[in-house]
Amino acid sequence: MNFGLGPILLVLLLVIASYAIVIYNGLVRARQIMREAWSGIDVQLKRRADLIPNLIETVKGYVQHERAVLEEVTALRSRAQSLPSDDVAGRGQVEGLLGRALGRLFAVAEAYPDLKANENFRQLQSSLETLESEIQMARRYYNGAARELNIKVESFPSNLVASMFGFSQAEYFEIDNAEDRAVPKVSFS
């Protein structure tokens, strides 16, 4: 019984094709996890952006001569919302600037005892502090998912399948300035 080389090649091709399918599905899974993780960041950033107008309105009544800080926060919020949701690097930069501006806004509020005592302001501060923490967690989750995708895109032999099907590396959601990485200080004293 001489089967020849044909059946052996067929089995070998089936094994290679099956392995390529497994790799492809792993890449798709990693990309979807990364997209879902980005969606989590996007939701938290939207929630923060929605709180900012309420915070600005509450502060306006107390800090008439601190217009520049209020205008900066408002402008950065608008800029952040105007960026495409898939612009990870741009969003990271603008959201970092917005976080710093919010920190300055809270620092200004420290000089106004009546404002610090305002229940609405205190609730908004507390909500923003919670959101900053959630954004931090979502950022870590996204960056972990991006790392996993990037490893698959760069590793052999999955890099062959990735390049064949147009998979590319994901950008990390990073903040350039070390000061921007810190959660804004919120004080109720």
pLDDT tens-digit profile, the chain (189 residues): 566 788 889 999 999 999 999 999 999 999 999 999 999 999 999 999 999 998 888 888 777 667 788 889 999 999 999 998 888 888 888 988 998 898 888 888 888 888 877 888 888 888 998 999 999 999 999 999 999 999 999 999 999 999 999 999 999 988 655 554 444 454 444
pLDDT digits (tens, 9 = 90+) for 94-123: 988 998 898 888 888 888 888 877 888 888
0.85 exceeded by pTM: no
- Reading the block at residue 180, the tokens are 């921007």
Q: What is the pLDDT at residue 180?
A: 46
Domain ranges of the chain: 5-181
The residue to which tokens 């809270």 are assigned: 106
- Reading the block at residue 68, the tokens are 């520049």
pLDDT digits (tens, 9 = 90+) for 158-171: 999 999 999 999 99
CATH of domain 5-181: 1.20.1440.20
Residue 72 buriedness (CB in 10 A; 0-12 / 13-18 / 19+)? middle
- Reading the block at residue 177, the tokens are 């300035």
Integer CA distances (angstroms), 115 to 10, 46, 109, 110, in order: 77, 25, 7, 8
